[in-house]
Amino acid sequence: MEEAQRQYLEKGITVTYEYLAPEAASAEDQKERLSQVKKDDYDIIGVDVADEEIISPVLDEMADEGFRVMTFSSSDAAEGCKRIAYVGNTHNYQDGADLTEALCEKLGYRGRVAILVGSKGAPCHEDRAKGAKDTIAGYPDMEIAAVEYDMDSIENAYNLTLKILEENPGLDGIICCNMSNPVGAARAITEKGSDTVIVGMDHDREALHYLNDGVIYCLGVQDCFSIGFDTLQVAVKIADGNPPGDLYPEKMNEITTIIYQEDAESMLELLYGDIL
């Protein structure tokens, strides 16, 4: 977003934005914030939907009241929501399926796995979990031992993983559907000295280190730079009164790349300047 803002400034266009992320994902918190936002004079409101069932009606209501609302990042609102556009990951289901396929291949299509979903109702987390479940279902020798919601919290993910390992000795794999849970799972696995294979999402610094160490098998990395950059670009076009169409699509898809141990070093250097 900063880069897009900078490029606009170079052209003499000042874009002012507020980007306020909560400490932890919460649909209720988001609902409250949206009601606050309505009091201010914003040209465009972008929402990273925490729970499509709770937030989508709020967005519809805001649209009906004349607010220009768009969604971005990993979770779009529910189908039919009146938000103007979405920029971000449109293939969460596929991401979940791809990660799980990688895990199944690693396990030789035989074994018991657990799924850490993330936030209940968060479309991106739920879609990934669904993709994972459907993939597992396709292999007769694969079995889902547990499905848990960590609410996108590292601490929760850590505790849940310990619990799953305790309840499922010899667990073969864990599928992590958001940014926090691969870290929590990896911490627990390391602590227990387990050889359970972890696959997960996103590019948390600690997760990348676990990837490099071989604790995490692979990570699905979303193109966050493009998501931010394109979100601001689309937001400006919406603020100018342009509807989706030739200037921007109603859904702008950003890619996800699955990276493995050999990619960890370069990713760490690229994102965090870490040289191992």
Partner 1 sequence: MTNEKDSINKRFIYTAIIGSTLVMAVLAFSMLWASRKTVSTTDEAVSAVSSFYLEAMADQRARTINNLINNNFEHMDKALTVIRDEDIESQEELRNVIGKIKTVLSLNRFALVDEDNTVYTQYTTYSGGSRYDFLSSDKLSERVISTAYMYGSSKQLCLATPADGLEILGKPFKACFVQIDIKDISDLLLLEDQGNTYFALYTKNGGNLSDSGLGLVGAGENILEDSKDYISRDSWEKLSTDFEEGKEGSLTLVSDGIQETICYAPVPDTGWMMAVLIRESVIHEQFLEISDNNRRVSRMLIIVTLLSMVIFAAVLLLQSRRISRMRLETERENSRMFRSMANTDSMTGVRNKHAYSEYEKHLNNMIRSGELRNRLAVLVCDVNGLKHVNDTKGHAAGDQLIKDACSLICEHFVHGTVFRIGGDEFAVILQEKGYDTLDETLSSINREIEDNISRDRVVISIGHSVLNEEDRQIHDVFERADNLMYQRKKELKAMGAKTRE
The residues that touch partner 1, with contacts defined as CB under 8 A, are 1-3, 5, 9, 14-21, 223-226, 229, 269-276
How many residues make up the chain in this entry?
276
Quote the least distance from Cβ 203 to partner 1, whole Å.
Answer: 8
What contacts 201, CB < 8 A, 6 or more positions away? 95, 99, 128, 176, 177, 178, 179, 182, 219, 220, 222
Q: H-helix or E-strand containing 220?
A: strand 216-222
Strand order in the sheet with 45-47: 45-47, 69-73, 86-88, 251-253
Q: 183 with 210: CB under 8 angstroms? A: yes
Quote the least distance from Cβ 263 to partner 1, whole Å.
Answer: 15
How far is it, in rounded angstroms, from Cα 272 to Cα 60? 39
Q: Which of residues 260 and 272 has its CB atom nearest to partner 1 in the complex?
A: 272
The token duo for 108 is: 């030789």
Phi and psi at 248, nearest 5°, equal: -160, 150
Chain Cα centroid distance, residue 192: 27
Quote the least distance from Cβ 103 to partner 1, whole Å.
Answer: 26
Q: Which of residues 112 and 203 has its CB atom nearest to partner 1 in the complex?
A: 203
Q: Which residues pair with 219 in a beta bridge?
A: 200, 259
Q: Which of residues 179 and 197 has its CB atom nearest to partner 1 in the complex?
A: 179
Cα Rg of the chain, angstroms: 20
Q: Which of residues 158 and 229 has its CB atom nearest to partner 1 in the complex?
A: 229
Q: Which residues pair with 112 in a beta bridge?
A: 143
How do 86-88 and 111-116 pair as beta strands? Answer: unpaired
Quote the least distance from Cβ 39 to partner 1, whole Å.
Answer: 13
Q: H-helix or E-strand containing 115?
A: strand 111-116
Q: Which of residues 172 and 204 has its CB atom nearest to partner 1 in the complex?
A: 204
Quote the least distance from Cβ 10 to partner 1, whole Å.
Answer: 13
Quote the least distance from Cβ 122 to partner 1, whole Å.
Answer: 18
Encoded amino acid at 157, one letter:
A
Q: Which of residues 137 and 255 has its CB atom nearest to partner 1 in the complex?
A: 255
Q: Which of residues 25 and 142 has its CB atom nearest to partner 1 in the complex?
A: 25
Quote the least distance from Cβ 227 to partner 1, whole Å.
Answer: 10
For residue 135, give Cα distances in angstroms to 171, 180, 243. Answer: 18, 22, 37
